[in-house]
Each structure stands twice: as C-alpha cells, then as structure tokens.
Chains A and B, each alone.
Chain A
Amino acid sequence: MFRKYKKYLNFGFFLIFIILLVVSYNSSKRKPDSVGELLTNFKWLNDFPKWLDAPFMVWINNGWRSFSEKYGLIFDSIGYVLLRSYSEIKNFLVNVPWPIIVIAVVLLTFYASGRKIGTTIFVGFCTFSIGFLNPRFWDKAIETTTIVFIGILLCLIVGLPVGIAMARNPKVRNAILPILDLMQVIPAFCYLIPGIILFGLGAIPAIIGIFIYSCPPLIRLTDLGIRLVDKEIIEAAESFGASRKQKLWGVQLPLALPNIMQGINQCTMMALAMVVVASMIGTRGLGDEVLLGLQQLNVGASLEAGLAIVLLAIVFDRITQAYGDKMQERTQPSKALPKN
C-alpha cells in the first residue's frame, strides 16, 4: 500500500527542493542583477555562490521568537516544577549529616548488589573519598547528584515507554531512530543555549540537557532488550493466549531487564558527562569546580575536582551495574548457579 505512494513522495520532495531553491535565490541580498547573468557568466560555478543560501537561520529565529512568546508560560511552569524538586531534594541532602549519607549509600549498594561485600566496601570508600579530596566537594557532589538524579528520572519516564513502543512497532522505531541520532549527534551547546533562554541559568537547562543527551541509549537498549527476547519464548507465551499486556509485563520486560539496567547505567554515565559541560552555562556542582580551576590555570584544583567526578561516576556505575548483574542472575540463573 505504501509502495503506491512512494514515487509521489519522492516527487514531492523534489518539488519542495525546487521551491526552496527559488525562495533562497529570491530572498538573498547577494543575488546577481538578473537571472540571465547566470547563463552568460559562469563564475558562480567556481566558488559556492553566495546567493545559494537557504534562509534557515532567519526562519528558525523567527519561529523560535514566536514560540518562546507563545509557549513561554508552559516552559516557565515546567522549569518551576523542576527547580522546586531540585532545590527540595538538594536542601534535604545537604542538611543530612555526611556520615548518614555514606551509610545510606553503603546500605543501598549492599542490597542492590545482592549482598556483595567487596563492591559495598569499595563504593563506600569512594563515597567517603569525594569529601576527603576536598571538603568543599561534598555539597557540590550532592548538587551534581541531584541534577543527575532528576535528569535520569525524566529519562526513565519518557525513555522506557518510548523504547517499549519502538520494540512493539517497527513503524514507530523507524520514526524515532532518526530523532535519537539527532539527539546524540547535535552538539550539546546547541540545546543548552536555547535552554537558557527558556529556563534561565542554572540547574534546569542542565537537566534538560541531560535528558536530551542521555535518553537515547536508554531508549535504544530498552528497544533492543525487548526485541532480543528469544522468539520461541514469546511464541510460547502467545500460544497460551497471553494478551499483549501480559506478554509485555510477564515475559518481555523481565527478560529485557538486564539490558534495560545497562541502559540506565549508560544513561547515568552520560548524564555525569553532561553535568560537567553544563557548568559552563552556570550550573553549580562539581563541574563548576573544574571550570574554576581551569579559569585560574590551577591544574591541581581542576584535576582534584575531575577526580571527584570520577569517584562519583564510579559510585553510580557500581550501584547500577551491580543491580543489573543481580537481575541477570535472576533471569538467567545458570550463569550464577552450577548445573545439577
């Protein structure tokens, strides 16, 4: 059915291209005096001609202006919700005495990793070392953690359903994949700066940046995880009359969980990377310290702060990874237990 319209589609694209050419020629200020000149003077074939310039910039700027005027209120309210939750969580964590936080992290690791003593001690030590490097880092690390946490929460809320939808429907996948590519490839500053315009300086554009930058791997791995579930197991579920919902919750998601955990792990790592970049648009946190060190040409200070970020990354990575491993053991017990 689609094939019927395919040639019309290509024809349509061609038409749009022609219109674009004409429009850009007409709107250009550097066009030759008359079209006839193009046919007599072929100099324009040497260098890329200045009049061959699609006016995307003007369009985007105009669009952006009217967009932020019209919908600014919506973004204000989103920004307010994010900012409020950010400051609530941050203030709470900053006010908690540091030993309690270390103990909390240790307990979390202990249960998330399935009572692995080695991992637990290592993570506890890393957590302690963040403050140990420089006491100033402790509160900064908490700020960073809060931003990352909210960013990842946003990723999960959006990413999991999208990943599931992609796995279930190839058409959705084909539509979403280019968007994911775009999200990953487009340079971070290109959306951090508009973020400032919409949300102002600080934590909120960083959270939005984290969402754009680190959501794609979660979506991809969720999609992949669900599609990689053994076809025969899916057939088995179907043959017993499982509905789509029963299949998803009872079979596909549990078996895709190790992959999804891997996605969350990747998401976390990329979020941490983004939080450092975001310091350049005034986001406070450990990235701030790195930037400060660089601005003062203080190599020691910036390296110290960099190390603190690495430690934070290790803590995040170990906890999510250990939890993923535990999931894997549950779904594929043979890898953990010897065969009878």
Chain B
Amino acid sequence: MEIKCKRELNLQKHYQKISMSKIQVNNVYKIFGNSPLEVLPMVKEGANKEDILEKTGHTVGLDNVSISVEEGETFVCMGLSGSGKSTLIRHLNRLIDPTDGEVFVDGTNVMKLNEQELIEFRKHKMSMVFQRFGLFPHKTVIQNVGYGLEIQGKVLKERNIVAMEQIESVGLQGFENQYPNQLSGGMQQRVGLARALATNPEILLMDEAFSALDPLIRSDMQQQLIELQTKLKKTIVFITHDLDESLRLGDHIGILNGGRLVQVGTPEQIIMNPADDYVEAFVKDVNRAKVLKAKTVMIKANQFDTSQIKLAEVFKVNEGVYIEEFLPKVLADNSTIMVVDNKGDTKGYITSKELAISLSKTGYNESSKIN
C-alpha cells in the first residue's frame, strides 16, 4: 500500500514536472518604492497605477503578470517604454526580486534559491543579452565571449576554444583580439550574442537586444537569430518595443501595458483579434502580408467548393508561407492558391476574396460598395 502511494506521489511529481512550462511566471507583482509591501494590497485590489503614484509615491512595475513559455519557443514580450517589460525579464534570473509572486524555471522556484544556488542557477540555466550590449570594455572580444566560462571556472585554453567557435558562428572571426569599443554597434551585439551562447544555456534572455541598432543591421541580426534558433532550439524570451520585430521572431507574443499583461497569443491571433484599443493601436500599421501565414487565412479544404476553380490556375504553397510571397500571383493572374502541409497533403484554399478579408483592417463585406 505504502509502496503504491510512494509511486503515485512520484508519478504526481513527474506529472507536475512535465505539465509545467519551461518558464512559468505566476501572478508576479513588482512595486518600486520605499515600502512596497504596504502598497501591495492596494495594487491587488486593482487600484490605478497613476493613483498609486499620487497617493503613495510608489511606482507599479508589474501588476499581476503571469506568463508561461514552452521549451524551444521564442516568447516575445512587447510594450512601450515604461510598460515593465525590462522589469519582467529581470525577474526570470532574479536580477530583480518581485514584490509578490512566483517564478518557476524548469520546475525550480527561482524565488526560493539562496545566494549560492542562485549563482549556480545563473551560471548554467540562462544567459542574457542587453540593449546597450553590456560588454566589458576592458576585455577583448574573445575574453568577453569567454566570460561566462571564466565564471564557471573553466581554464583559459578550454574557454578560448569555445569562445572562438561562438565568434565564428556569429561571423566575427578576425576581430577576437579587438576591444568592444573598436567595433560597430551591430558587431558589438553579435559579441553579446556569442557571449550569451558560449555557456550553452537552455534559456536565452534578450532585453531589447536589437533596439539600439539601425534598421538594416537590426533586420540582419533578426535573420541571424532566426537561423541560430532553427539550429539550436533554445528557449528564448525576447523583449522589444517593435511590433514588426516581435511578429517576426515570436512564436508567442505577450503585450504589456503599464505593467499589466494585456494579451498573449500567436502573431496571427494578435493581428486578427487584438484584445483592446491599446493592442489595436499597435497592430494598426502592421503590414499584414508580412505577418499572416497561408495557414491562417485559408479556407479549409472540406469547406471549399473545388468545382469553381480551374486546375491550370492553381498554385501550390506550403502552409507556413507568408501571404506576401504569393500575393502578386493571386492579384495578377487571379489564380487560386492550394495550401499544402509539409507532407504535401492539401489543407485548404485561398482565393482573392480570402486575401481581401485578411489584409484589410475592417474585413471584407460583400454588400458594402465603394462610392
């Protein structure tokens, strides 16, 4: 009987472990000020951020934020400055302690770690990339990249080998003996990325990593990150204030406003169903063709009347392809798109009508006429 109980308990534990996401943030509050604990009940009752600032002089950084990030996905946290996104990411490796709430990484309660355990946790579990790069100006590129390993106590030879590999993987070979200030912004951030990857962490925290870069280099870096991610399959938490960036990189996006989590969803969900005015204002100017995938806009194969179309005009695309890529084909040749999955099975169809519905903000209404 006892044995059975134990086994059940173990199973339960195991179940808990697998049921839990890679990173789980539960009801985290963060209040900045002299006595945050006294203000906490007020925040919990749902008082306004501005009121609290006026009455108590405390700033609410995070207000009941809960997120969960699955293993191997890129979670983008988006919001304007002051929305608490940088505060949130610093809770994950406890650079900031929450006023209330729990943070679990791999089922470990980060809040319960003592100083020594926290150091071990930071050494191996996750590493961070910073907005203004956070490179050590007194160390060369290779020393910077090897820093995490240095902290782990690896010998110089070993860490130089690993650092060199990482430097090559971000395409900076030949610069390893330069100092950070001798490099351009884009190169510096690639050093930052290489440094974060050098310890081979399971989780990568990127705090507005590309925000300080100019648009061309930013897009370049995004591409590089996507390529790295397809190879490495890390769990990435990415902070940005740029919607295009978040749509491009994120598997899931969480939108923060004034410390509150407004909406969480896939890029398509955010675009198609913005939760409130704030999100809608964000989404308004997005180029939908670049964000929506064929999968999202198609009509399922069983609901589509195939008799109308001529086979000659049918054009096959993969379900993961963005609208942008087949949009000209549909408009110019009036062809029908057949959406297939990776195995080649037909999943659905797209005609110019579906495109029109998905691309406009208000949607397409057959009865409305343009005067």
Residues of A at under 8 Å CB distance from B? 3, 230, 232-233, 235-243, 246, 250-251, 254-255, 330-334, 337, 339-340
Contact = CB atoms under 8 A, between A and B. Distances in A.
A140 B200 CA distance: 63
Contacts of B344: none
Contact of B184 (A241, A243, A254, A340): A340
- A-B pairs, top 6 by smallest CB distance, nearest first, are A241-B123, A334-B181, A236-B134, A241-B122, A239-B128, A333-B179
A240 B130 contact: no
A337 B178 CA distance: 11
A51 to B, nearest CB: 44
B220 interface: no
Nearest to B94: A238
B189 to A, nearest CB: 13
B130 A236 contact: yes
Given A236-B135, A236-B136, A238-B95, A333 B182 contact: yes
Contact of B127 (A239, A243, A254): A239
Given A235-B95, A240-B122, A334 B182 contact: yes
B93 interface: yes
A233 B35 CA distance: 28
Contact of B138 (A237, A238, A330, A340): A330
B132 A232 contact: yes
Contacts of A236: 128, 130, 134-136
Contacts of B127: 239-240
A331 to B, nearest CB: 4
B349 interface: no
Interface in B193-228: 199, 205
A337 B136 CA distance: 17
A316 B136 CA distance: 31
Contacts of B205: 239
Contacts of A333: 137, 179, 181-182
Contact of B182 (A232, A240, A337): A337
B183 interface: yes
A246 B353 CA distance: 63
B113 to A, nearest CB: 11
Contact of B148 (A3, A240, A340): A240
B296 interface: no
Contacts of A242: 119, 151
A238 B122 contact: yes
B242 interface: no
Contacts of A233: 134-137
